[in-house]
Structure 1
Amino acid sequence: MNGKINFDSSSISNELKFLLDCLDNETNKQVPISVEPNLDWNLFLKLVRHHRVYPLIYTKLKSAKYIPATIIQSMFYDYQKNTFKMLKLSGEIEKISRLVFENEISTLFLKGPILAADLYGDISQRTSSDIDILVNIDDLDKVESLLIQMGYVKDEYIQTVLNDWKWRHHHFVYFHAEKEIKLEIHWRLNPGPAKEPTFNELWQRKKVSSLPTSYPIYCLGNEDLFLFLTSHGARHGWSRLRWLVDIDRLCKTNLDWDKIMSLLKKYQYSHVAGQTLVLASQLLNTPINKKAKQLTTGSRSNQLAQEALFYIQRFINLHDEPLSEEIASYHKKHLFSLMSFQNKMLFILSFLHPYFEDTITLPLPRKFHFLYFPLRPFLWFWRKTRIQEMS
């Protein structure tokens, strides 16, 4: 590729182009001057909401005379609602931080108000729907007990056999009905079976969040945060521009790129980081560090970035199930293409481990669950045959 980025964004709509123009260098509050005369402002508002960037866009465009007043008013309502939400989440984070601190449980807070405070300097400038906390897997029971005392209820949606939850999944979900707060307790940064830093490694490299609280709130060090935000955004197809804006903000901090390059190599995320930086530089004009430019010139990084436009141009919510057959098929293939060769092998081998569906196909007493290992191919074949007969 001759050391150049090969990325074609010509297919994106004028409304999305204008949104990207507003997000480009968004710390400059100047309103974009050049605007397409026939922009569909309702579509623009839909894009702003879908990509969860209305706090930034409202702040920049609130005084723009060429935007219909109803659009500005809608964005103000979203901005105001989000501010109250972030204040509520921040208060809850302080309560949880105090509780785990008093019980000597090490925790790392991810995303949400923590990210807003550290990268945006103002919790009102980023959206978040929940609280994410990373803990050592050995402390899960302790943390759950504390959450139950606080009034949280666990969503028992994970179905597991032979403890496959420990590596197939990465978090449990809890809800507080009265406070209307969703909380995720992570024991991994991403679903397995891919290799990633241990909690103890992340804890050793932690930093204290700038979110003002009476108890210290610990979060990922910036280099680990880059690895996490990169893998998280890629896994979701960068379907929300909010995640790419996080990367843009993080890249403008004082990152140790030698350390980042070492982490990317160790956990085989170089091509994923390349995808991330291609998207950020081409869509948001994010400056790329000299040491990181090599990540953006590989054909694989550029191809993955091009594939991500499928998500960015559409209103895709991967949590809105069931997904259409087209989106589900595309996402399945894209996730596989994101994996390194080693992780692809691990993923394929993971199919040899029993799934919960096997216990439904052939119920066995728990003490005989080990038999699902040799029976797995036959049970899988039986289910596939039944599905074909019913279709």
Structure 2
Amino acid sequence: MDNNLCLDVTDLPRELIFLLEVLKSDNGSIHLDGENAVTEINWNLFLELAMHHRIYPLIYPKLKMVDKKRIPENVINFLGQQYKQNTFHMLQLSAEMGKISQLFSDNKVRLLNLKGPVLATDLYGDLSLRTCGDLDVLVPIHDLEKVDQLLLNQGYIKDDYIQTILGDWKWRHHHVTYFHSTNQIKIEIHWRLNPGPGKEPCFDELWERKRVSSLTNYPVYYLGREDLFLFLVSHGARHGWSRLRWLTDINEILKQEMDWAELIKILKKYQYLQIGGQALILASQLLNSKLPEDSRPLVLKNTPKKLAQEAIFYFNRMVNLHSFPIPVDVAVYHKHHLFSLMSSKQKVFFILSFLYPYPEDAEILPLPKQVHFLYFPLRPFLWIWKKLKKQVLRGRIS
């Protein structure tokens, strides 16, 4: 652990500290301060954390190697059951991934797998060691209509939750979800790596640097290593690193050969230098990840360390940003943290994006579609009206 990058983790619960020790351990050599520290573990909370952080496949093989007197049998049995279920699910996803890749290729649609079984095998060498709820794939935005028809023909149903106006879906959103009721598989079709308005590599650029996986009988394409690092850090940062699984991904990719000069160039181009540094500091401090010497420029400044310290909030609170409603204090903190993650240029684009009409504007003042362009000059007035209406409602409630 690099002392120059030290974070304040004094408020982390004992169970989470033990979980981190398990993740860092090899050959069952798990340590905590004090001889009887393990006996003080709240095992129900430990299991809750293991499930929340989606890292139970990683800790199960390690805990099996520990003296049975130290780990309750019911804990090992529960983790073993979850491990087996996850392995079966990943095999199912792997088969579907190959099927969808072939379907899209046969119909001349380029597809890049972002996560799923291909990520598990690339980073961990074993698809059973990583969890994945669904398949995330990236396609060119101009192929979305064709993709929609292909998936509908396969029995998938689109979760059409996106409300849009004046084409803002193209940059405000980044994926749409499809679900198959028979095989219970969910597919997220991305046309961007992350929601806008930030800049990111275009599909053609990512396709040029793609890699191919031999996990299935049919070739499966996925991101080049430097692009994968960019995607992993931007995705993890956007979610506050609230699941350790995303950080263990960083720990594993750091063990692979990387062109750090090229990576830093890419991160700089797309304004991701500071979140790249944040990810490295968190991995170094929480998982004892070894930082390559060429990666050091990313962690030298104060901002990455400040951002890394801010992320500890999510670990202390066991924050789940996908469980609604999100507690008010967490929502407020996350809103401010997301803004602090942005570079100066990204903050300017983000603020300017508020001038672009929102679907809610059409709810406040419905206009015929052919004159929706009027929402641009009306936007400031509609925003003020919306804020005043909220204040009135709050006043009535109080």
Common topology (TM > 0.5):
yes
Which residue of structure 2 aligns with residue 113 of structure 1?
A: 117
Deviations along 1:346-375, one digit per CA (max 9) or x if unpaired, are 000000000000000011111010111011
Among candidates 28, 31, 36, match of residue 30 of structure 1? 28
Among candidates 90, 99, 102, match of residue 98 of structure 1? 102
CA distance in 2, matches of 1:182, 1:232: 19
CA distance in 2, matches of 1:129, 1:29: 29
Residue type at the aligned position of 2:60:
Y
User: Residue 107 of structure 1 contacts residue 218 of structure 1 at CA under 8 Å; is this kept in 2?
Assistant: yes
Deviations along 1:39-91, one digit per CA (max 9) or x if unpaired, are 11111111111100001111111243111111111111111111111111111
CA distance in 2, matches of 1:4, 1:240: 25
Which residue of structure 2 aligns with residue 134 of structure 1?
A: 138
Structure 2 residue 184 is the aligned partner of structure 1 residue 171: no
Among candidates 358, 364, 374, match of residue 371 of structure 1? 374
Structure 2 residue 228 is the aligned partner of structure 1 residue 243: no
CA RMSD of aligned residues (A): 1.2
CA distance in 2, matches of 1:351, 1:264: 25
CA distance in 2, matches of 1:340, 1:33: 39
1:235-274 mapped onto 2 (5 Å cutoff) = 235-274=238-277
Q: Classify the secondary structure of the residue corresponding to 2:158.
A: strand
Which residue of structure 2 aligns with residue 59 of structure 1?
A: 61
1:147-158 mapped onto 2 (5 Å cutoff) = 147-158=151-162
Among candidates 225, 229, 245, match of residue 228 of structure 2? 225
CA distance in 2, matches of 1:270, 1:162: 32
Query: Structure 1 stretches of 5 or more lacking a match?
Result: none
User: Residue 118 of structure 1 contacts residue 210 of structure 1 at CA under 8 Å; is this kept in 2?
Assistant: no
User: Residue 28 of structure 2 contacts residue 65 of structure 2 at CA under 8 Å; is this kept in 1?
Assistant: no
Among candidates 109, 117, 122, match of residue 126 of structure 2? 122
CA distance in 2, matches of 1:373, 1:33: 60
Residue type at the aligned position of 2:246:
W
**Number of equivalenced pairs:** 386
User: Residue 4 of structure 1 contacts residue 297 of structure 1 at CA under 8 Å; is this kept in 2?
Assistant: no
User: Residue 278 of structure 2 contacts residue 304 of structure 2 at CA under 8 Å; is this kept in 1?
Assistant: yes
CA distance in 2, matches of 1:17, 1:315: 13
CA distance in 2, matches of 1:277, 1:15: 23
Residue type at the aligned position of 2:16:
L
Q: Classify the secondary structure of the residue corresponding to 2:138.
A: strand
CA distance in 1, matches of 2:173, 2:212: 27
Which residue of structure 2 aligns with residue 215 of structure 1?
A: 218
CA distance in 1, matches of 2:348, 2:6: 29
Deviations along 1:194-227, one digit per CA (max 9) or x if unpaired, are 000000000000001242x121100000000000
CA distance in 2, matches of 1:277, 1:142: 39
Structure 1 stretches of at least 4 aligned residues deviating more than 2 Å after TM superposition: 28-31
CA distance in 1, matches of 2:139, 2:188: 11
CA distance in 2, matches of 1:126, 1:291: 28
Among candidates 38, 42, 61, match of residue 40 of structure 1? 42
Structure 2 residue 87 is the aligned partner of structure 1 residue 83: yes
Q: Classify the secondary structure of the residue corresponding to 1:317.
A: coil
CA distance in 2, matches of 1:383, 1:32: 55
Residue type at the aligned position of 2:229:
F
CA distance in 1, matches of 2:77, 2:392: 54
CA distance in 2, matches of 1:7, 1:49: 25
Name which of structure 1's ranges 378-387 and 234-243 shifts more when overlaid on structure 2: 378-387
* TM-score, with structure 1 as normaliser: 0.96
CA distance in 1, matches of 2:11, 2:371: 55
CA distance in 2, matches of 1:367, 1:13: 56
Q: What's the % identity of the aligned pairs?
A: 56
